[in-house]
Amino acid sequence: MAASRDPADLYPDIAVEGSLAAALQAAADEEDLDVRFEASDSLRHASVMSVVPHRTALDIGAWAVERRWSIRGCETFQNMALIEGNTHDIAQLARAACAWHNGAELAEIRRVAPFVHLTGRFEVPDHDPVHLTESEWQHLRTEASEMDGPEYRALIEAAYAEPALRRLYPFTSHWTLRFSTSTRPRLTTVPLCLDAHRQKPYSVSAHYMGEVLAEAATAEAAVSMALRHLPSDLVAMTPGVD
């Protein structure tokens, strides 16, 4: 593993400006972008607030072992990422930050700053649990489509295609697909887990890392078996409030 480097050596131009926030502000001003970065004396971190109340501040961080910056922008209710990404280009950082600050649509943020990665989640300003559930399913489907794991991708798609599972809030623990009747931040776990194994059958269990209840050769068969173990008294989706 590469050792961390002195940020003043790795980012000498940022050191001249005095902070990452100041360097980003200079880049934004040069492009005539209407955004203001949070004041900081750190060469490694900066942030920018959004005029949209359901967005957190966009977090911007400098890498410690090579010259690169990362961003993460979340929604406020669950603190789950809507956008992520990393780049060598400070001008693109400034453009992404300006778009986030000004409330641009997520797809528009990616258009003006192509390094931005959309997580698949969409914004739910009113925190409606049904819409948050659909947003999380879209995140898992996006994530699975980008992974080198056809078995896991097939499992996510098969579970999503089943209405009884699609209405539950999905989450994963080490790539085990699990379900809840409430959203984050406080999950109400359903006793049902689905696993996809490379070169092994799919499996169904009641509890995470628990006894296997059934195995199947395909994702669709595993979902069908899972439905037989799905509790019949599940309540409607609720917000997972702490």
Residue listed under structure tokens 């490694």: 44
Q: Is 85 exposed, middle or buried (0-12, 13-18, 19+ CB in 10 A)?
A: buried
Supply the pLDDT for residue 231: 94
Q: How far is CA 10 from the centre of its chain?
A: 28
Phi, psi of 216 (to 5 degrees): -145, 155
Domain boundaries of the chain, sorted by first residue: 7-118, 129-240
Q: pTM value?
A: 0.94
Query: What's residue 200's pLDDT?
Result: 81
C-alpha distances in angstroms, 77 versus 22, 73, 113? 30, 13, 25
Q: Which positions ≥6 away from 175 have C-beta within 8 Å?
A: 149, 152, 195, 196
Q: In what order do the strands lie in the sheet with 169-173?
A: 169-173, 176-180, 189-195, 202-205, 212-216
At residue 1, the pLDDT reads 60
Instruction: Kindly give, in sequence order, each residue whose CB lies less than 8 Å from that of residue 201, ignoring residues fewer than 6 positions away.
Output: 215, 216, 217, 222
84, with CB counted inside 10 A (0-12, 13-18, 19+), is middle
Q: How confident is the prediction along the chain (242 residues), in pLDDT tens digits per residue?
A: 677 788 899 999 999 999 999 999 999 999 999 899 987 789 999 999 999 999 999 999 999 999 999 999 999 999 999 999 999 999 999 999 999 999 999 999 999 999 999 999 999 999 999 999 999 999 999 999 999 899 999 999 999 999 999 999 999 988 899 999 999 999 999 999 999 987 788 999 999 988 999 999 999 999 999 999 999 999 899 999 86
pLDDT for res 15: 95
- Rounded distance, CA 168 to CA 172, Å? 13
**Chain CA centroid to CA 76, Å:** 13
